[in-house]
Structure 1
Amino acid sequence: MPNWPQGLAVSDELALVRTGLPLTRDDARDCPAYLAVKARPWLITAARLATYEPLMTFALKPLMAALDQVEHNRHPLEEVLAELRHSRGAFGRGRPAHDGLVEWTAEALIRYLDRREADQHDRVAAGEPRTEAVPEEWVVRNRLPDHASPDARGARLYERTAWGRRYASADGSVRELRLLSFGSAKKERPEAETAAAAFVAAFGEPCRSVYDVELMRTKAFEVVTPYDRMVVPQRVRIIDVGCGDGSAELLAERSRDEAQSSYDQHTRPVLGRVLDAAERRPGNSCVECPGAGRCPALPSQAGLVGLPAPRRNRKRRSLSASDLRAYTDCPAKYHLTRELNLRTARPENQAIRRGRAVDAVLNERHAVRRSRGCRGLPAPATSAWPGLDEETVHVCEAMLAQHAAVCPLDRLGATEEVRVQATVTAYDPTLDVVLIAKPDLLHTRRGGWIWRETKTTGSRIFEGKPVLEIHPQLALAVLLMQTGELAEGDRRRSRIELELLHEEDSDRLEIDPWQPDVLQEARRIVGEAAGPWLEDTAYTAAPGTACENCEALDWCRVGQAHQVEQAD
């Protein structure tokens, strides 16, 4: 039996190991123990997660279903677009999609097909064969003989998959796997991921997925054409396609030998670490993890937010300050941009870009951990201010100078802990919600924990409104400091600090999260936004001032109509 994270699963049904491209990304934000469990689809988890969700939450599912209708079932594009809107993206199966996602899918479908046809034309003109859509999945399968014992991981069957759109030439000599991105095409992905995609395209058997209704779990893939009878491709291409703008980037074009060599060099070590991992790292992975309520690494406190349990048990969600702001602006904006990650590439205004640039410089400087903090450092190189005009650069440099005078790392003891942009996570089992924040700076001082948020602004603190209300991330910080290691520090020396940087001066405000009235105020502010959010099942657009800079406006008819009305 391997070093198994027992709190996440209670069975030893380890015979099937299945890995997809997300497991090859080696992302430090992922929880290793969760990924190890995710790779074992036959495990009986310690608790079944709620599955109810009123709307489609996998943004690419309607697009994939629409492409299946066009490419596999040969339905005319106009007919598929009509069915997309009529069924709201469900195509007769599953939950409907939000109206905004339906609009985005309709545009993405046309762009994808146009780009694919243009690529086909260019390749044929260059003397290469046409490729046609392949309905079966490509799966690389390695099975131990029936008479053999399971391996050291307890596995008898390994399956390697690569999710995307599959194409092959008529003679089978060329295979093409297209990976989908929401906005523009990615010019590169982690090499381990690209190598895994090429390996599956080069060696995968055509298979179909099968679900075991009795056991309520997936079965091993069912082979359509066994490896020894299929046409072996001689060359594979991996292409990234931007669904937001129709762009495409060739990530790899390899022979079978090259695909094997790259997989052995880049992917195999990463998957080895994933499959054998047991470290627990709380964060976004906790949202999908069935062991979140029992994981010792995830701080948990019933009633942390101070709201009663929602009327219906829905899929677990995360809640951040950005989520609260987006939902308060407009429920549709929250769903489209925060849950579905659909965003128009709109240029940010100078104030937002200024804030991002200053944050990036401060993060880089704080990570170095100088004894004098940011004091005495020269102005950054001009490359630190991409796209900013001369006047804004002058303001940024002035703000950095103001920060240097109050940098919390100045004369901080060498044994104190410093974390830059670290993820802080807590779980409220009453709501089945994971609270997540990334403070600009988190550090210890003489036994206490200091949570520092730094904001660039053109004005001073507005005295007519509670500071926790102006900056809801501070209200969330108050709640998160009630649990875990932050709560275990010396509370007399622990606090939340807000640093406001101006061109001419700076303000610093301290908040004591242990004061009952501060905690009550934080719960009120978070609860006023999170209460309706917990019960919302429609995410109806609420047109208003937020429409002007909304990243989802291109797919929101209500918001567009509001903009026209305002213009008139």
Structure 2
Amino acid sequence: MINLTELPQWQPPWSASGANSLIRISSSALKKVPGNCEVEKVAKAHIDIKQELKDWSTRKDTRAVFLLGAVQKILALPRTPANIDEFVRKELGVSATEPSIRAAKSMVSRALDAVEEFAAEDLAVDLVLRPTTDFVCVAASDTQRLELTSWGVYYQNEDKSFRELRLFCYKNADLTRDRNQLVAAVNVLLNGAITDGSPAIWTEPYQTLPTNPPQRVRVRQIGCVDGSAATLFDGDAASAAAFVGGITSVVHEFLVDPHFVPGNSCVECRFRVSCPEIVKSPGFLGLPTSGKISKSLSKTMLNSYQRCNYQYFLASVLKLPKSEFESTQALVRGQAVHEWIMKAHERQIPCSIADLPESGLGEIASSLGWAQEYLDQARSWISSHFQVCPLQTPNTKLRSEESRTIWDSDADVVITTRADEVGVRNEKPLWREIKTSSTLQQLTEAEYLLLYPQVAFAIGIQADSGGTVELEILTPESGKVLSFDTTDPRIVLAARKAMAISFDAIHHDEEFLASPGMACINCPVSSWCDKRVESANSKEVIVEGLTVDVVTGEIINDQPVAIDALARALALVEPVDQTDDVPF
């Protein structure tokens, strides 16, 4: 049991009122996820501490619903409803869209299949488990209460000597959970008390009932999209006690010195109005209104929107589970070039032809563990980099892949980008973005800012500190660098105009019309889409007069073309976000 007198007393890094009287920590909060803000999780855990500034509530699209909630509700019932479609629709609410309903029904079906398999396995050893209310592990004194929880569905056998928790994920249930999260989940099963239901109000403590300790506990996980299932822990009380012996240190580590990590998730954080770390820049994007909902945006999301407005809606607004698919030649090549350059620049010396021998891998590719075939597909583009390597200029120091986040509080948009390289040159800030292409487009400065809005974003960020933003474009034949002086008001104005143009449509769109066709190929949410069409898996497609080779990434045009058409064509060969952020 955790000794409350030894519990670290967290002090919020902003003006706040209240006391550390009720702390509620979920096992999901304890998992370490790159890019997740530790401070936000700790602040949410301190139920009775309120920031003095008014909460900046996130304005959510009412059509965005919690899919796993429907899965959890059905599995927690003593009997499966006769009409699952009706139950799912009622649980998700009247605002739920058909794609969300389709996804939830599929996930429920897969989860129920896993439950049947579990039941058959248990029955073979004369074990029958039934759903029960949640368990919570409580440590309390006269002035403070700590509650440890874990979200899922709980089960017990008839004599209550056996407890089980079933967790949910989308895919790959056999992958091990973060150890801290699993330790916390097992601890709740072993040392927790059964609850009298969830608190009527979140700020109220759980009401627990008298509970005898179990003799055996088990944690299982269900992949609700791919139907996978796995046992993550299964042991008697003694082995469980040994496994959770470090729970005190896990909780201490969580509460002591949490770190800020600004990013896309800031849009969900009610503390962002008080947060000292997120850069607040009213009017940064130059958008005329705050739109209907709070948003987090990135270049990947903009690519998705340009491919198909509806694809962006399903993936980034409704947050439906995404499918994985094989990357195209263009994407693999671009990633390889990026990896090679980033690794080479760790040395802080100029890249040269000696780094890329005609035969063999060379030092850089060898250190990356590459096969010869992987290097060969990127060789020509890497060779072109030697002509324009930024470290050729004296007094240049670079760091790779650092994230930058801005909250435009006027538009209520959090925008995040990961800079390819940032650093200094002659003691002045330097930011460089690197892009690969099969051909070099002859565009104006303003057109490049529209085609690559992350460059405009970089200029906007650097405007106050000065310095230079560079765009490096590599083709198999040559390399080119465009340099933007962020102390030039004309450049800054052009960048702000480009950002406003790039993000205006996505910011104000409420209908998200579909563009069925080539965007359906390799669409990460096509499984749930009610607008998709079956298109021939063509190597070449036509986008407003442009021929796009979706395999090599080549964009072919023999005559001048509108920049917005070129941007939409480029979006077809840009990376697609295939990752899912499942909070539980």
**TM-score calculated relative to the size of structure 1:** 0.82
User: CA–CA distance in 1 between the matches of 2:506 and 2:399?
Assistant: 31
RMSD of aligned Cα (Å): 3.1
AA aligned opposite 1:245: D
User: CA–CA distance in 1 between the matches of 2:335 and 2:217?
Assistant: 40
Equivalent position of 1:241 in the other structure: 222
Equivalent position of 2:148 in the other structure: 160
User: CA–CA distance in 2 between the matches of 1:71 and 1:16?
Assistant: 27
In structure 2, relative to structure 1, the CA distance for the partners of 1:551 and 1:132 (3 Å cut) is: same
In structure 2, relative to structure 1, the CA distance for the partners of 1:555 and 1:290 (3 Å cut) is: closer
AA aligned opposite 1:479: G
Deviations 1:113-136 (CA, angstroms, capped at 9, x unpaired): 1122123323433x26132222x1
Give 1:456's match in structure 2, choosing from 436, 439, 446: 436
| 2:127 counterpart of 1:132 | no
User: CA–CA distance in 2 between the matches of 1:177 and 1:471?
Assistant: 47
| 2:65 counterpart of 1:39 | no
Deviations 1:165-194 (CA, angstroms, capped at 9, x unpaired): 322333323322222222333512221112
In structure 2, relative to structure 1, the CA distance for the partners of 1:405 and 1:529 (3 Å cut) is: closer
Equivalent position of 1:259 in the other structure: 240
Task: Report if aligned partners of 2:453, 2:502 keep a CA contact under 8 Å in 1.
Answer: no
| 2:33 counterpart of 1:5 | no
Residue 160 (structure 1) shift: 0.6
Task: Report if aligned partners of 2:156, 2:164 keep a CA contact under 8 Å in 1.
Answer: yes
Residue 505 (structure 1) shift: 2.9
Task: Report if aligned partners of 1:26, 1:270 keep a CA contact under 8 Å in 2.
Answer: no
Task: Report if aligned partners of 2:431, 2:469 keep a CA contact under 8 Å in 1.
Answer: yes
| 2:474 counterpart of 1:521 | no
Tell me the secondary structure at the aligned position of residue 500 of structure 1: strand
Deviations 1:322-362 (CA, angstroms, capped at 9, x unpaired): 12222233333113223415211222212112222333344
Deviations 1:417-473 (CA, angstroms, capped at 9, x unpaired): 643211101121111222211111111222222212222322223537811222222
In structure 2, relative to structure 1, the CA distance for the partners of 1:115 and 1:33 (3 Å cut) is: closer
Residue 24 (structure 1) shift: 1.2
| 2:70 counterpart of 1:65 | yes
Tell me the secondary structure at the aligned position of residue 257 of structure 1: helix
Residue 552 (structure 1) shift: 0.9
Give 2:79's match in structure 1, choosing from 56, 64, 74: 74
Residue 37 (structure 1) shift: 0.9
User: CA–CA distance in 1 between the matches of 2:117 and 2:394?
Assistant: 59
Equivalent position of 2:571 in the other structure: none
User: CA–CA distance in 2 between the matches of 1:48 and 1:16?
Assistant: 19
User: CA–CA distance in 2 between the matches of 1:534 and 1:211?
Assistant: 36
User: CA–CA distance in 2 between the matches of 1:544 and 1:519?
Assistant: 37
Task: Report if aligned partners of 2:22, 2:47 keep a CA contact under 8 Å in 1.
Answer: yes
User: CA–CA distance in 2 between the matches of 1:382 and 1:420?
Assistant: 17
Gaps of 5+ in 1: 151-155
Equivalent position of 1:289 in the other structure: 269
Residue 143 (structure 1) shift: 0.5
Query: In the TM superposition, what are the counterparts of 1:206-355 in structure 2 within 5 Å?
Result: 206-207=194-195, 208-212=197-201, 217-223=202-208, 225-226=209-210, 230-265=211-246, 267-277=247-257, 279-310=259-290, 312=292, 314=293, 316-339=294-317, 340=319, 342-355=321-334
User: CA–CA distance in 2 between the matches of 1:55 and 1:563?
Assistant: 35
User: CA–CA distance in 2 between the matches of 1:5 and 1:57?
Assistant: 31
User: CA–CA distance in 2 between the matches of 1:35 and 1:496?
Assistant: 34
Task: Report if aligned partners of 1:553, 1:560 keep a CA contact under 8 Å in 2.
Answer: no
Deviations 1:131-171 (CA, angstroms, capped at 9, x unpaired): 2222x122111101x3xxx4xxxxx0001111123223333
The list of structure 1 runs, each at least 4 consecutive aligned residues, that deviate by more than 6 angstroms after superposition, is: 561-564
Tell me the secondary structure at the aligned position of residue 280 of structure 2: coil
Equivalent position of 2:161 in the other structure: 173
Tell me the secondary structure at the aligned position of residue 253 of structure 1: strand
Task: Report if aligned partners of 1:419, 1:443 keep a CA contact under 8 Å in 2.
Answer: yes
In structure 2, relative to structure 1, the CA distance for the partners of 1:335 and 1:130 (3 Å cut) is: farther
User: CA–CA distance in 1 between the matches of 2:523 and 2:278?
Assistant: 34
Equivalent position of 2:508 in the other structure: 535
User: CA–CA distance in 1 between the matches of 2:392 and 2:115?
Assistant: 56
Task: Report if aligned partners of 1:499, 1:506 keep a CA contact under 8 Å in 2.
Answer: yes
Equivalent position of 1:153 in the other structure: none
User: CA–CA distance in 2 between the matches of 1:273 and 1:404?
Assistant: 45
In structure 2, relative to structure 1, the CA distance for the partners of 1:311 and 1:395 (3 Å cut) is: closer
Equivalent position of 1:202 in the other structure: 190
In structure 2, relative to structure 1, the CA distance for the partners of 1:558 and 1:143 (3 Å cut) is: same
Give 1:49's match in structure 2, choosing from 22, 47, 56: 56
Residue 29 (structure 1) shift: 2.3
AA aligned opposite 1:74: R
Task: Report if aligned partners of 1:317, 1:432 keep a CA contact under 8 Å in 2.
Answer: yes
Equivalent position of 1:23 in the other structure: 29
AA aligned opposite 1:129: L
Residue 510 (structure 1) shift: 1.9
In structure 2, relative to structure 1, the CA distance for the partners of 1:292 and 1:53 (3 Å cut) is: closer
User: CA–CA distance in 2 between the matches of 1:160 and 1:74?
Assistant: 28
Tell me the secondary structure at the aligned position of residue 244 of structure 1: coil
AA aligned opposite 2:77: H
AA aligned opposite 1:521: A
Tell me the secondary structure at the aligned position of residue 549 of structure 1: coil
In structure 2, relative to structure 1, the CA distance for the partners of 1:244 and 1:3 (3 Å cut) is: closer
Tell me the secondary structure at the aligned position of residue 180 of structure 1: strand
Tell me the secondary structure at the aligned position of residue 226 of structure 2: coil
**TM-score calculated relative to the size of structure 2:** 0.80
Give 2:382's match in structure 1, choosing from 400, 407, 413: 400
| 2:96 counterpart of 1:97 | yes
Deviations 1:70-113 (CA, angstroms, capped at 9, x unpaired): 64152435x1223434x4x525xxx6223222111111111111
Equivalent position of 1:182 in the other structure: 170
User: CA–CA distance in 1 between the matches of 2:190 and 2:352?
Assistant: 52
Tell me the secondary structure at the aligned position of residue 41 of structure 1: coil
Task: Report if aligned partners of 2:70, 2:88 keep a CA contact under 8 Å in 1.
Answer: no
In structure 2, relative to structure 1, the CA distance for the partners of 1:417 and 1:372 (3 Å cut) is: closer
Task: Report if aligned partners of 1:371, 1:412 keep a CA contact under 8 Å in 2.
Answer: no
User: CA–CA distance in 1 between the matches of 2:63 and 2:220?
Assistant: 26
Task: Report if aligned partners of 2:518, 2:535 keep a CA contact under 8 Å in 1.
Answer: no
Tell me the secondary structure at the aligned position of residue 557 of structure 1: coil
Task: Report if aligned partners of 1:357, 1:384 keep a CA contact under 8 Å in 2.
Answer: no
Percent identical across equivalent pairs? 25
Task: Report if aligned partners of 1:477, 1:496 keep a CA contact under 8 Å in 2.
Answer: yes
Task: Report if aligned partners of 1:321, 1:472 keep a CA contact under 8 Å in 2.
Answer: yes
Deviations 1:469-510 (CA, angstroms, capped at 9, x unpaired): 22222222223334xxxx33xx2xx22222223334322222
User: CA–CA distance in 1 between the matches of 2:241 and 2:337?
Assistant: 44
Deviations 1:260-283 (CA, angstroms, capped at 9, x unpaired): 333333x54343133232644422
User: CA–CA distance in 2 between the matches of 1:2 and 1:74?
Assistant: 44
Equivalent position of 2:581 in the other structure: none
Gaps of 5+ in 2: 1-7, 356-361, 542-584
Tell me the secondary structure at the aligned position of residue 526 of structure 1: helix
AA aligned opposite 2:96: A
Give 2:20's match in structure 1, choosing from 14, 25, 29: 14
Give 1:556's match in structure 2, choosing from 529, 535, 548: 529
